[in-house]
Chain A
């Protein structure tokens, strides 16, 4: 690859370092972490709350940089990722590695300083889980990569909660489970219409290994326990009716869309409208659900005070 040779000696551009943190994925990570923190009833100093959310963002960015450092060869083979800084040759691998390690270490140390040991430990474990367990161990080996690896993206609300309270509770564990069960349908919907990309890179995603029909069945199967876990906080009395209504309506629509995917028989990406709709909605679903849980908990806490 001549591009790499030509530019490898160039100092890194900050835009490429920023791209290494996967800013779009980070938005969801930061949002769910913030909602976990807001849903906790412990009042947290705003500076410490800001620092905790920043640490979640830095940790996610560091893990993403380490992921791209390790996967540069795979990214180069996929259309969707070929223009990332490493495969495109705009950044040296050493720079990416140092940047990833630096961000990860700084995030854990700052979290320990700003919040508590438990939050820092969970953050460190989540970075390890994403960068090593998912990226190095699972992704190239098993079609269940996204099922187990999904846990890595599920930690932020747990970290946010623990940063605010110093302890674990049932609600953040349910929020963790919600993202854990949401990840497979979300990624399998995507992998159905970019299947050729994954096949070209030799990544054993479910549609590549088991075919479209089995993947569609799995999507529908996973959406059911996911919907149940989404509604559970309301049924268990951990949230109020505001969250309950939002969770029931959004989860019912999610299941409806996943049944649309199950009914689709298309093999060409152009005819995979239901898969594309489910993928797009799944992102909105998580944003709205976490927004609702934070609003509901804040309303329950402050409404009695405000109403006198």
Chain B
């Protein structure tokens, strides 16, 4: 039977999960923003 995770390991995992989630959100927002800027630029330069 595996040992139960130590509190410190649990904290590291939690931080890693929250960091990965935050990175995903930031990347998604960045992609959407670049897309919207591109559309707006096309619209302005029509």
Contact = CB atoms under 8 A, between A and B. Distances in A.
Interface stretch (A6-14, A226-234, A253-261): A6-14
Contacts of B40: 45, 47-48, 114
Contacts of B12: 9-11
A12 B33 contact: no
A45 B46 CA distance: 13
B34 interface: yes
Interface in A2-48: 9-14, 45, 47-48
Interface of A is mostly: helix
B37 A47 contact: yes
Nearest to B39: A47
Contact of B19 (A11, A51, A110, A113): A11
Contacts of B39: 47
B5 to A, nearest CB: 15
B37 A51 contact: yes
Interface string B11-37: 110011011001000000010011011
Contacts of B6: none
Contact of A48 (B15, B19, B34, B37): B37
Interface of B is mostly: helix
B44 interface: yes
Contact of B15 (A13, A45, A113): A13
Contacts of A13: 15, 18
Contact of A12 (B19, B34, B37, B41): B19
A113 B34 CA distance: 8
A54 B37 CA distance: 12
Contact of B44 (A45, A106, A110, A113): A45
Sort chain A's interface into a size bin. 10 to 19
A113 B22 contact: no
A54 B30 CA distance: 11
A45 B43 contact: yes
B19 A14 contact: yes
A110 B11 contact: no
A48 B33 CA distance: 10
Nearest to B22: A14
A48 B40 CA distance: 7
Nearest to B36: A47
A113 B36 CA distance: 11
A19 B30 CA distance: 21
A153 to B, nearest CB: 25
Contact of A10 (B15, B33, B38): B15
Given A45-B44, A47-B37, A47-B40, 16 more contacts: A9-B12, A10-B12, A10-B15, A11-B12, A11-B16, A11-B19, A12-B15, A13-B18, A14-B22, A47-B39, A48-B41, A51-B36, A106-B30, A113-B37, A113-B41, A114-B41
Interface of B: 11-12, 15-16, 18-19, 22, 30, 33-34, 36-41, 43-44
8 contacts: A11-B15, A12-B15, A45-B44, A48-B37, A110-B33, A113-B34, A113-B41, A114-B41
